[in-house]
């Protein structure tokens, strides 16, 4: 399934599950709901949708984990977001405090070609302006990064 076939909301949930699992292992639906700013019922409904799309696995009253496909989509969105933050800050002069919200809006619509051009123009960076690691084009974390 291509990333383009997934809604922004699905992409945001995948990114959220990835980040929560990196922080503490298994992701609970309640933690996901808090992170996404939605009700537990809304988060639960989305988790069921992600499971139906084979992007996540969820056991009732258990945690949510991404499948390999779900993890790949999450990493791609994280890569887009962090490249965009760096591009906005370094190339367009957007203040580092403002790049996050702009990148949140743009991360869902950037093409793979534009992603590659931004990556090349920035010299294949390994970290965004906040110091967070940027996965490479193969969606691997920089070697100096133990945590994604």
User: For the chain, what are the domain ranges?
Assistant: 3-70, 76-121
Does this chain's domain 3-70 share its CATH topology with 76-121? no
Q: What is the pLDDT of residue 60?
A: 78
pLDDT at 3: 56
Question: In terms of DSSP bridges, do strands 64-66 and 56-58 run parallel, antiparallel, or are they unpaired?
Answer: antiparallel
* Sequence-ordered alpha helix ranges (H) in 7-135: 8-24, 29-36, 40-52, 68-90, 99-106, 112-121
Residue 2 reports pLDDT greater than 80: no
Output the CATH code of domain 76-121.
1.10.60.10
CATH architecture type of domain 3-70: Orthogonal Bundle (1.10)
This prediction has a pTM of 0.89
Over 70: is that where the pLDDT of 22 sits?
Answer: yes
Percent of the residues in the chain that have a pLDDT greater than 90, as a whole number: 85
State the pLDDT at residue 148.
Answer: 47
**How many Cα atoms are found within 13 Å in the side-chain-facing hemisphere of 85?**
23
Which residues, at least 6 apart from 130, have a Cβ–Cβ distance to it below 8 Å?
85, 96, 100
Q: Residue 80 and residue 57: Cα distance in Å, rounded?
A: 24
């Amino acid at each position: 399934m291509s990333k383009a076939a997934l809604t922004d909301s699905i992409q945001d949930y995948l990114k959220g599950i990835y980040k929560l699992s990196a922080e503490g292992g298994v992701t609970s639906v309640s933690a996901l709901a808090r992170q996404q700013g939605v009700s537990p019922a809304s988060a639960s409904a989305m988790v069921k949708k992600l499971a139906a799309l084979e992007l996540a696995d969820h056991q009732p009253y258990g945690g949510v984990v991404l499948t390999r496909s779900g993890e790949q989509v999450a990493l791609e969105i994280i890569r887009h977001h962090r490249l965009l933050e760096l591009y906005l800050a370094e190339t367009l002069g957007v203040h580092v405090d403002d790049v996050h919200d702009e990148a949140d809006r743009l991360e869902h619509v950037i093409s793979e070609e534009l992603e590659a051009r931004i990556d090349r123009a920035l010299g294949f960076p390994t970290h965004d302006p906040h110091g967070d690691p940027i996965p490479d084009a193969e969606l691997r974390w920089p070697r100096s990064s133990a945590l994604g």
